[in-house]
Every structure is written in C-alpha cells, then in structure tokens.
C-alpha cells in the first residue's frame, strides 16, 4: 500500500474539509481523530490519511508536539510520500502561532528548506492576490474575521502574517508566475530557496490556479495550506476534475435518524445560518452564566432537546452571536472562561444525547466540533457525500454516528436545513 499524502489538520472541521475535497477529486481517504499510535490500524487501501488535531488555539508547545508526533507516524509508520499541514483558508492564528511554529517544526523534522503557504480556496471565496488573503472579495481583516473570538485576524498580508510567527523569511509566487505554469513555479521556488526564503506564499484567483501549483509542489517534502491545494493534488493524480458536476458519496439513511444541531461558530455566515434556521425549527441560545455556574444546566438542555425533537426538524443549541454581543460576553466572563464553559456544556449534553439514541450531529465551528467528536469517543471517519463545498457527511463506523462538521463561514444560509433534506427528515 502506497499512501501518497499524509495530512495534519489543526482542527476537526478543517480535517473533514480537506478530506471531502480529496474524495470528490477521486482519492480514497481515511480520517483519524487525534494523534495515532502504534495500535492505530489502517485496514483499507487508501491514497491519503488525514489526522484531525485540536491544535489551532492550544498552547504552541502542545500544537508543535502533536504535529510532530503525527508527522512521525505518517512518515515512518504509514509511509506517506508527502506531508501536508492543513490550516484554515482564513489562516486562523495569532502573532505567536500556531501556524508558524508548527510549520517550522515540520520543516525541521523533514529537513525541508522551503514550503508553500497556500490557503486559497476560491470555490468558497478565499482568494490570494499579491499575497493578500481575501474572503468573498473583502480583505481578510475586513471580512468579519477581525472579530473572531479566539484568533482575530487584523492583517490580510500572508507574508507579514507568517513572518510574524515563524522563524524565517517569506516571499511571493505571484499570479503572473502561476499562469506561466508548473515549470515557472518550480523555477521561482528554486530561486527563492537560493535566496534563503523558507515560505513561498502562492496567489490563486480560481480553483484552476491551484493545479500548476500542486504539480510544482510534488517535489516538496512538506506543503502547507487549505483544502483547495489538497483537492488539486488529488485531481492531478487521478485526472478527475477539481469540482465534479455530480458529487459522490454516502449519506445518512432516513430511517431512525435522531438529529441535533450544535453551533459554536460566531462567523458572519454562521450568524446568517442560525438566524435563518431559527425561523424554521426550535433553537435555544446557551446562557453563558448558566454554563459557568449551574451544574444542572446541561441536563436541562438535554430535556429541552428531547422534548423538541418530536417536531420534525432537528433542534439547535447555539452560542453563535454577532460581534458586539460576543464582545460583551467576553468582557463579562473572560474569553477563556466563557469558551471552556461552553465547550464543557456541549460535551455534557452530547454524552447524554447519545445515550438517548441520538445518532446524527450537525456541528458548526472547529472548536465545538473538536470537543463534541472527542466526547463521542470517535477514532476514525469514512468520508461521505458533500452537503456544501468543504462540508461532507462523515460516518463513524464503530458507533454508527453520522456527523456534519462545518467550518464557520462555509455553506449557504440554508445549510442546516439542506443538511437534513439530504436524508429526508
């Protein structure tokens, strides 16, 4: 078995994002939850392994250690030909990391002199022009990401962003070079390497711009970026289009679905999605004070969900709030205390719900998804059909759970309804 790519993803929604795109481009992919060890078994013939870490906003040392452990397993145990460090297409990080420190550690471990910084995902509105990251035509720092509760993005210049948190220098592979094709990109990378540049930021306006970049990247030991580049790597290997007209994959069977929605993302799109879904189905906002102070609060929420779940569409628990309300919550309780209390409440709720027979979980937000997946004690996913670009259904074979793990700004406003229409609620 030759595994072409080993992916280290810094959160759970990002992991399913890249896994889903690679599956639609023709690769066979398995997704592992948390760092594998000597007892981890990969039983099927596959093209890529995706490891889901919860390391986007943890302490830097913890993120680096989990990434290095995953890299060793992928490189030495699984025999992956190339390593891919996957982060969000909005480059979610702080001036201290964790993207830069993890990239440096992986480069050192693999003895890589240069790597790509390629977060672009044009199909979802993430483009890179002159090294600046745009979200739906707006600069990253003007797109709503400047209000992110954990990793506020106040700059759109990827060269500055990576240099602030990494140990080396960055430079640009611009769109003119990209359009000149694979050899021009290889020549540019070689030139940058000779100049001592460690990080090559790549422009991309369309999904097709990622194809020559992926071809040029085949000779690199390590690449970093978003799921667009992962899809391109799979596409050039299989010859399948980046975005097939007829998406493939399994979906949850309609029979015996017991479904609940958890929304922890405060992104602009998730705010729209929550507001739209509130018009259609039962929805309850978590009381942050109760999450912190009331040990019985999770039980009350479970009772409410069970009562509401008889009405057709899945009930939703959410902490999604617009920036001004989020700021007040953080000022009142403290960002860390509020975040941990919310995650722990979601965890307690989902542990009780699975005992009540709930088997389908639609989750918005990487931190929320990571906590819930860990609470369900899931070890591996198979990748199913996409609900929206970058959001596939995933299936836990051990417990027969089906999950949709949605990054904050992904999907259209009707995402929560659309996810359920797939299995005809």
Q: Output the domain CATH number for residue 270.
A: 3.40.980.20
Residue 244 within a domain: no
The DSSP H or E segment spanning 355 is helix 335-355
**Which residue from 154, 14, 34, 30 is spatially nearest to 87, judged by alpha carbons?**
14
What pLDDT is recorded for position 363? Answer: 97
Contact 390, 21 (CB under 8 A): yes
The CB density around residue 358, as the number of other CB atoms within 10 Å, is 21
* The pair of three-digit structure tokens given for residue 174, joined into one six-digit string: 């611009």
Instruction: Give yes or no: residues 232 and 375 share one domain.
Output: no
User: CA–CA distance from 116 to each of 12, 172, 183, 222, 319 (Å)?
Assistant: 22, 10, 16, 8, 35
Supply 262's token pair. Answer: 């958890």
What is residue 424's predicted lDDT score, i.e. its pLDDT?
61
* Spatial contact of 393 and 385, defined as CB atoms under 8 Å apart: yes
Instruction: Output the six-digit token pair for 309.
Output: 């779940």
- Per-residue pLDDT tens digits for 184-209: 999 999 999 999 999 999 999 999 99
Domain co-membership, 26 together with 104? yes
248 occurs within a structural domain: no
Selection from 72, 86, 85 nearest residue 38 by Cα: 72
Output the CA torsion 42→43→44→48 (10° steps). 0
How many domains is the chain partitioned into structurally? Answer: 2
What's the pLDDT at 150?
86
For residue 348, being part of any structural domain is answered with: yes
Task: Choose one of 238, 270, 294: the last residue of a domain.
Answer: 238
d(CA 92, CA 75) in angstroms, rounded, equals 26
Asked, for residue 276, whether it belongs to a domain, the answer is yes
Tokens of 235: 């596409």
Which CATH number belongs to the domain containing residue 214 in this structure? 3.40.50.10840
Name the nearest CA neighbour of 315 among 355, 366, 361, 352. 361
Asked if the structure places residue 250 within a domain, the reply is no
Pull the structure tokens for residue 60: 């830097």
The domain boundary, picked from 174, 204, 238, lies at 238
- Dihedral of CA atoms 268, 273, 276, 279 in degrees, nearest 10, equals -120
- Which whole number is the average pLDDT over 312-337? 93
- Whether 361 is in a domain gets the answer yes
Closest CA to 344 of 417, 380, 292, 296: 292
Measured CA to CA, the distance from residue 324 to residue 167 in angstroms comes to: 35
Nearest to 411 by CA among 123, 156, 149: 123
Shared domain for 177 and 268, answered yes or no, is: no
Whether 196 and 263 share a structural domain: no
Are 366 and 263 within one domain?
yes
The pLDDT tens digits for 126-162 are 999 999 999 999 999 999 999 888 899 999 999 999 9
Residues 218, 271 share a domain: no
Q: What tens digit of pLDDT does each residue of 255-314 get?
A: 889 999 999 999 999 999 999 999 999 999 999 999 999 999 999 999 999 999 777 899
Cα 203 from Cα 129, distance rounded (Å): 5
Q: Are residues 202 and 275 in the same domain?
A: no
Query: Domain check: are 234 and 272 in the same one?
Result: no
Co-location of 222 and 299 in the same domain:
no
- The average pLDDT across 226-246 equals 93
**Residues 233 and 113 reside in one and the same domain:** yes
Peptide bond into 98 cis (omega under 30): yes
Give me the mean pLDDT over the 357-379 stretch. 94
DSSP per residue, 285-310: E--HHHHHH-TTHHHHHHHHHHHHGG
Residue 6 is predicted with a pLDDT of 97
In this model, does residue 13 exceed pLDDT 70? yes
Q: CA separation (Å) from 387 to 267, 281, 394?
A: 19, 19, 10
At 248 the pLDDT is 83
Residue 194 included in any domain: yes
Helices and strands (H, E) in the chain, number of each type: 15, 18
Q: Of the candidates 238, 271, 288, which is a domain's last residue?
A: 238
Q: Are residues 156 and 234 in the same domain?
A: yes
Lowest mean per-residue pLDDT among 101-105, 184-188, 243-247: 243-247
Residue 1: what pLDDT?
62
| Orientation angle between helical segments 335-355 and 366-375, nearest 10 degrees | 40
Judge contact between 89 and 119, C-beta under 8 A. Answer: yes
What is the sign of the dihedral through the CA atoms of 168, 150, 328 and 322? positive
Average pLDDT, integer, range 107-116: 98
Examine the domain organization and report whether 68 and 163 are in the same domain: yes
pLDDT at 425: 47
Residue 199 lies in a domain: yes
Show the domain range for 306. Answer: 259-422
């Amino acid at each position: 078995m030759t595994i072409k790519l080993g992916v280290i993803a810094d959160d759970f929604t990002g992991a399913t994002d890249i896994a889903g795109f690679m599956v639609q481009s023709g690769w066979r992919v398995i997704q592992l939850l948390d760092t594998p060890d000597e007892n981890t078994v990969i039983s099927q013939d596959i093209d890529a392994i995706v490891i889901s870490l919860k390391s986007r906003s943890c302490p830097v040392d913890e993120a680096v250690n989990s990434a290095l452990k995953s890299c060793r397993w992928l490189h030495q145990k699984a025999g992956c030909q190339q390593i891919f460090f996957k982060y969000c297409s909005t480059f979610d990080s702080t001036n201290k990391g964790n993207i830069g420190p993890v990239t440096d550690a992986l480069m050192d471990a693999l003895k890589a002199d240069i790597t790509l910084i390629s977060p672009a995902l044009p199909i979802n509105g993430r483009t890179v022009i002159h090294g600046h990251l745009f979200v739906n035509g707006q600069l990253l720092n003007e797109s709503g990401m400047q209000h992110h509760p954990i990793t506020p993005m106040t700059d759109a210049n990827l060269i500055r962003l990576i240099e602030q948190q990494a140990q080396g220098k960055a430079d640009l592979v611009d769109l003119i070079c990209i359009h000149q094709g694979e050899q021009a990109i290889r020549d540019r990378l070689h030139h940058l390497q000779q100049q001592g540049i460690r990080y090559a930021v790549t422009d991309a306006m369309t999904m097709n711009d990622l194809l020559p970049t992926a071809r040029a990247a085949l000779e690199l030991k390590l690449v970093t970026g978003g799921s667009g580049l992962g899809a391109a790597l799979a596409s050039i290997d299989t010859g399948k289009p980046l975005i097939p007209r007829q998406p493939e994959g399994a979906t949850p069977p309609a029979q015996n679905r017991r479904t609940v929605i958890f929304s922890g993302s405060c992104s602009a799109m998730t705010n729209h999605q929550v507001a739209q879904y509130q018009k259609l189905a039962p929805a309850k906002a978590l009381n942050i004070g109760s999450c912190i102070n009331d040990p019985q609060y999770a039980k009350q929420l479970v009772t409410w969900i069970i009562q509401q779940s008889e009405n057709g569409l899945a009930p939703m628990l959410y902490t999604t709030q617009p920036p001004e309300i989020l700021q007040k919550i953080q000022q009142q309780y403290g960002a860390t205390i509020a975040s941990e209390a919310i995650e722990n409440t979601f965890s307690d709720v989902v542990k009780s719900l699975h005992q009540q027979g709930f088997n389908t979980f639609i989750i918005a937000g990487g931190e929320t998804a990571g906590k819930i997946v860990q609470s369900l004690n899931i070890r591996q996913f198979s990748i199913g059909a996409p609900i929206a670009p970058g959001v596939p259904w995933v299936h836990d074979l051990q417990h027969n759970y089906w999950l949709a793990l949605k990054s904050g700004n992904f999907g259209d406003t009707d995402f929560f309804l659309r996810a359920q229409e797939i299995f005809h609620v």
